[in-house]
Amino acid sequence: MRTKQLLLTVFVSLLLFPSLVFSAGTKESAAKTTDDGVITLSVYHYLDQTDKTTAPNFAYLVEEFERKNPNIKLQFEYGYGESFHDKLQTLAVSGQLPDIILLYPGKRTSQVTSAGLVKDLRPYLQGHENEFADMAMQAQGEKGEIWELPEDISITSIMFTNNRLLKELGLSLPKTYAELLAQGPIIRKAGLIPLSIANKDAWPMQSCVAGMLLERTGGMEWFDKAIAGDARFDDQVVVDAMEIIKELTDKEMFSPGTNQLAYGQGLDDFVNERAVYFIDGGWTVNNMVGELTDEQKTYMSLESFPDVPNQKGKSLSVSATAGQGFGMNAKLSDKESEAAWKWIWFYSGPEGSAIRQRFGRLPAYNLSEPSDADPMIKKLISFAGNVPMGYVMDSVLGAEPIGTFNINLQNMMFGTMSPKQVAQELETMVEAIDRK
């Protein structure tokens, strides 16, 4: 099934990207060195260039790197959403991988990391391992390889809370799921959204809600067993988690038309105080730093989803993973590899991490909290240090099962699939693809 899917992806990608030339036997990298010693490296990066906060921040990082490394020139190509992953898969099959590639620590980009197409970064990283969060240094390959250097720790299921609105409505932060549901009619009567989330792209409900709920209903021991095949993704605890999402949908707790809302609308509704709660990842603090007023920052807080019925996992737990980061093409020469590593280390090491922390990210590199940090950054750092962390589903399950699961969650919310059917299809695909 994986082979058929891969061939289909290649065919579709050729239609979308006709400039790709297949040369799987090519042994040289695309890197170039001019007569004056300047090395040019191609880079494929995951970035929404229309994002008015993230894109300029990244451009600043690149400018800083090239200012400090005038003998290295980076040529970027950008992708975003599923088109990024589709093209990456095609590049991998065609032997046309760029010199530097944005990769994920789990199975999301395993078509590259598990195929010997990128270098193990451990020799370059040696002696610096203790400078990173433990989660970031977990093995990414079967022999302990590190294929990409994580840029941050991604907490994906924060329930951002507008405490001013809560107070005006006579409400308080819910400690249980039942308390949260009871707030829905009061919030909607005031013309507000209870839980802001935009799920047109399908991944937010999985990444920001489903994984967190699975840890709550099943616990981490169950989660580990299910990944290994000693438990099943159609067990009752999975059905229970899906039923919570279905109930939140049916009781109009999510943003109206959530499955038609483009990503970013959820944040927009929260920043403009049309929503009491907003469920998304810690990366959105990056945007909040610039979009919230100083006054708003005093009453916006970062919280965990409340306890759910028959909870087996830990209270306040969130889904989290070591973030994505850059890796390098296995075909690079020693000189080219040294240049590529300079960018990777700049980006995820102390210099780039300090810059990204100022922009509102939670770097994987261990840094002291800057005294002049934005209030929202301080709140993110404090939150991360005080919550149990479970799995993000798309970091531990393969791209094909997750892709189908994302769509099935939408189907369930539309009422065309039941929670049990969603769980059953997830188990079927994980068993057929991930566990074989």
Contact 429, 261 (CB under 8 A): no
Res 10: pLDDT: 41
Q: How many residues are recorded in the chain?
A: 436
Determine if the pTM surpasses 0.95.
no
Question: Could you state, in chain order, the average pLDDT of each consecutive group of 10 residues for the chain (436 residues)?
Answer: 43 42 44 79 94 91 96 95 88 93 84 90 96 89 93 94 98 98 98 98 96 97 95 98 98 98 96 98 92 98 98 97 93 96 98 90 86 89 91 90 96 98 98 87
- From 188, 177, 179, 110, select the one nearest 142 (Cα to Cα): 110
User: Are 244 and 343 part of one and the same domain?
Assistant: no
User: Are 223 and 271 part of one and the same domain?
Assistant: yes
User: Are 189 and 128 part of one and the same domain?
Assistant: no
- From 371, 375, 376, 354, select the one nearest 363 (Cα to Cα): 354
Res 430: pLDDT: 96
Q: Examine residue 259 and state whether it is found in any structural domain, yes or no.
A: yes
Res 35: pLDDT: 59
Q: Examine residue 132 and state whether it is found in any structural domain, yes or no.
A: yes
Q: Examine residue 379 and state whether it is found in any structural domain, yes or no.
A: no
Res 361: pLDDT: 83
Domain residue limits at 265: 155-320+389-434
Q: Examine residue 420 and state whether it is found in any structural domain, yes or no.
A: yes
Res 329: pLDDT: 97
Cα–Cα distance, 312 to 314 (Å, whole number): 7
User: Are 103 and 224 part of one and the same domain?
Assistant: no
Cα–Cα distance, 417 to 422 (Å, whole number): 7
User: Are 274 and 420 part of one and the same domain?
Assistant: yes
User: Are 316 and 332 part of one and the same domain?
Assistant: no
327 C-beta neighbours (distance < 10 Å), count: 27
188: domain CATH number is: 3.40.190.10
User: Are 333 and 313 part of one and the same domain?
Assistant: no
Res 276: pLDDT: 98
Res 305: pLDDT: 98
Q: Which two tokens stand for residue 3?
A: 């082979």
User: Are 333 and 271 part of one and the same domain?
Assistant: no
User: Are 98 and 159 part of one and the same domain?
Assistant: no
Q: Examine residue 370 and state whether it is found in any structural domain, yes or no.
A: no
Cα–Cα distance, 317 to 306 (Å, whole number): 9
User: Are 311 and 228 part of one and the same domain?
Assistant: yes
Find where tokens 């940090």 sit.
Answer: 373
User: Are 271 and 406 part of one and the same domain?
Assistant: yes
Contact 76, 43 (CB under 8 A): yes
Q: Examine residue 195 and state whether it is found in any structural domain, yes or no.
A: yes
Cα–Cα distance, 3 to 160 (Å, whole number): 41
Q: Examine residue 243 and state whether it is found in any structural domain, yes or no.
A: yes
Find where tokens 């919030």 sit.
Answer: 187
User: Are 269 and 418 part of one and the same domain?
Assistant: yes
Res 368: pLDDT: 84
Domain count, the chain: 2
Q: Examine residue 377 and state whether it is found in any structural domain, yes or no.
A: no
